[in-house]
Copies of this chain bind each other. A is one copy, B any other.
Amino acid sequence: MGRRALLLLLLAFLAPGAAITLRPTLRTLGSLHLPTSSTSRYAVARNYSVHYFQQKGFMWDVAKELKAMLVFAEHRYYGESLPFGHSSYKDSRHLNFLTSEQALADFAELIKHLKRTIPGAENQPVIALGGSYGGMLAAWFRMKYPHIVVGALAASAPILQFDNLIPCGVFMKIVTTDFRKSGPYCSESIRRSWDAINRLSNTGRGLRWLTEALHLCNPLDSQDIQHLKDWIAETWVNLAMVDYPYASNFLQPLPAWPIKVACQYLRNPNVSDSVLLENIFQALNVYYNYSGQAQCLNMSETTTRSLGSQGWSYQACTEMVMPFCTNGIDDMFEPRLWDLKEFSDDCFNHWGVRPRPSWISTLYGGKNISSHTNIVFSNGELDPWSGGGITEDITDTLVAITISEGAHHLDLRASNPLDPSSVLLARTLEVGHMKKWIKDFYGRAGKEELRDF
């Protein structure tokens, strides 16, 4: 084993956009996107180069333990990987090559290139790992290229958030549960806030009052009300995704258990509309102004960094069609149906394309994936995306790991003294599976050497 285990290639997908789409605007909810600094370059092919990033996270601990090389591959059309430079997003003709299949093919070519060019890498096993959309790609990569990666860790990968594989209301129901459990009357306060906003925005005076009470950067007019409610709803969704047990800075700088902090302001739903909205502002302020730097709240921003929202908006309008809906009963939001036709029309107006809602499940199998092997699906129970994840074992080698106190891919984050035991256990199990895949790989390789195939 000694020589063989020297170099394990461990491929991580830096995929910047798992998204929820709230009509009428297509918005992005962020995903794994850590602060980056370029450290070295390899020429992959004539027109491309690849960058390596130094960061901290679970992957670094794992790489150390498994004596692995860690490669972050940037997804085409994101970051600097623009196939047509500044024209890449010009029109649907230029965007034609932005598909998950093309991204997987890139990773296949990249790994072959790395194995050819890095001394000692040729016969080493590779493991794919990623979170959110990157987790979906990791799982799909193992399914489609099992000859290239020995296994995949798919963290918070909602591979069932398509077609009619799960009910469209599951996502927002989990968001609601997070708030309900984080403070008395918290979700109920939010549920009542929508009508309060509707009533207040009926008059010019009410609009001026709302602008001031919510400290908005730009004055509201009656046209903005849907946008205001979408922006607030997305804020609650984001808080659910990043409800981590310690202070963090993923979508925004936030305190530990930020929903609990926000819910401290939302303990009484039975107050006047204006008091309720003042409380809502305090809760929003936890998300938007934890650092105390914000002069006002800007409705056009929900995250501090660009997370590739353009790319994801196009992908959501082609293959990544994720149905979402609310009914106001099982969740704390205003009722809204999933309307594929309206979604499709929006896509056509924006990108000149129409979505293919069933393609992802046709291509990757939907729930019917039992013939594949060596994929670990991890999900946090607090994470709204867990509703579209694989949360029960499918076979001995298609395994689900549930992190009861985890939000969006908590397991991929750097270890922290405040980590709950559920994520510590998850990481241990994940490393155990990876070791098994590597061991099996060398077992097979040994046999194949013997029979000279």
Using a CB–CB cutoff of 8 Å, the interface residues on chain A facing chain B are 101, 105, 108-109, 112, 144-148, 358, 362-363, 365-373, 392, 444, 453
Contact = CB atoms under 8 A, between A and B. Distances in A.
Given A112-B358, A144-B144, A147-B366, 13 more contacts: A101-B101, A105-B362, A105-B363, A108-B362, A108-B363, A112-B362, A146-B371, A146-B372, A147-B365, A147-B368, A147-B371, A148-B365, A367-B453
Nearest to A392: B453
B373 A371 contact: yes
Contacts of A146: 365, 371-372
A144 B444 CA distance: 22
This protein's copies in its complex: 2
Among A112, A147, A362, A370, the one with the most B-chain Cβ atoms within 10 Å of its Cβ is: A147
25 contacts: A101-B101, A105-B362, A105-B363, A108-B362, A108-B363, A109-B362, A112-B358, A112-B362, A144-B144, A145-B363, A145-B365, A146-B365, A146-B371, A146-B372, A147-B365, A147-B366, A147-B368, A147-B369, A147-B371, A148-B362, A148-B365, A367-B453, A370-B444, A371-B373, A392-B453
Contacts of A358: 112
Contacts of A368: 147
Contacts of A112: 358, 362
A112 B361 CA distance: 11
A144 B371 CA distance: 11
A138 to B, nearest CB: 16
A18 to B, nearest CB: 23
Nearest to A111: B362
Nearest to A371: B146
A365 B142 CA distance: 12
A364 B313 CA distance: 30
A407 B145 CA distance: 32
Contacts of A372: 146
Contacts of A105: 362-363
A147 B364 CA distance: 8
A351 B279 CA distance: 67
Contacts of A144: 144
Contacts of A147: 365-366, 368-369, 371
A453 B392 CA distance: 10
Contacts of A367: 453
Contacts of A371: 146-147, 373
A108 B369 CA distance: 15
Nearest to A101: B101
Contacts of A365: 145-148
A366 B362 CA distance: 24
Among A145, A372, A392, the one with the most B-chain Cβ atoms within 10 Å of its Cβ is: A145
Contacts of A109: 362
A453 B400 CA distance: 14
A392 B167 CA distance: 46
A221 to B, nearest CB: 43
Among A108, A146, A369, the one with the most B-chain Cβ atoms within 10 Å of its Cβ is: A146
